[in-house]
Amino acid sequence: MKLYFDFFSQPSRALYIFLKINKIPFEPCPVALQKGEHLTKEFKEKLTRFGKVPFIHDGDFKLAESVAIVRYAARKHDLDSKWYPKELRQQARVDEYLEWQHNNTRTFCALYFQKKWLVPMLTGEQPSPDRLKNLEKNLVQGLNEIENVWLANSPYLAGDQISVADIFGACEIEQPRIAGFDAAEGRPVLSAWLEKVRKETGPVYEEAHVSLNKLVQKTKEQASKAK
């Protein structure tokens, strides 16, 4: 199985970490989003009809969508780990978060990052103050829902055990840090959870976040210079 990914893509990181931790073998095929490799006609024709990462090729089978790939890999390898449990209700809890996140954590963290940092970096165009205020409002609401609803009665997003839901959640929440927004600040529950996820996913989590953390450092340095 070939995994096409870029560590700047949140679901790419999550999928990479999930596969590594569960010892599901794959050949890593990095794609340089920054170079626009994924936007060419050839890329779409030969590699993936959607022009996005992550995706896999498993022999002649091409599959996109990170969450669909998690499930495909788990079923193919008959996985039964805490990361994606087979037990009916436990798996449904993990699925519940993985479905919810698309229009919540994923959307809010990604939009804030894109409009505040990525688009200005690529085009020089800044978002209007109103637009930015709105994006931050949505981001704050979404993060508060993680703090006050998802983590209200359980230590992890899908219950008492860490799972792939936490990996996906954490990888999204890391992203706005590049744009100078720290989700952990003022959210003690989320903060403690994020630390646990980073720790329990070990060196592979760090590996997937090396490039991101360099950018976070750069943003911090620029902010302190501007003071």
Residues that bind a second copy (CB under 8 A): 49-50, 61, 63-69, 71-72, 75-76, 88-89, 91-93, 95-96, 98-100, 102-103, 106-107, 149, 152
| Min separation Cβ 151 and a second copy, Å | 12
Nearer of residues 127 and 200 to a second copy, judged by Cβ: 127
Under 8 Å CB-to-CB from 101, ≥6 apart: which residues? 165, 168, 169, 172
| Min separation Cβ 75 and a second copy, Å | 6
| Min separation Cβ 213 and a second copy, Å | 26
Bond prior to 176 in cis (omega within 30° of 0) = no
| Min separation Cβ 210 and a second copy, Å | 27
| Min separation Cβ 134 and a second copy, Å | 12
CA-only gyration radius of the chain, Å: 18
In angstroms, the Cα distances linking 225 to 122, 161, 166 are 22, 42, 34
| Min separation Cβ 177 and a second copy, Å | 22
Q: How far apart, in whole angstroms, are the C-alpha atoms of residue 110 and residue 105?
A: 8
Q: Count Cβ atoms within 10 A of the Cβ of residue 59 and give its class: 0-12 exposed, 13-18 middle, 19 or more buried.
A: exposed
Q: How far apart, in whole angstroms, are the C-alpha atoms of residue 99 and residue 80?
A: 20
Q: How far apart, in whole angstroms, are the C-alpha atoms of residue 178 and residue 218?
A: 8
Q: Which two tokens stand for residue 156?
A: 């992890």
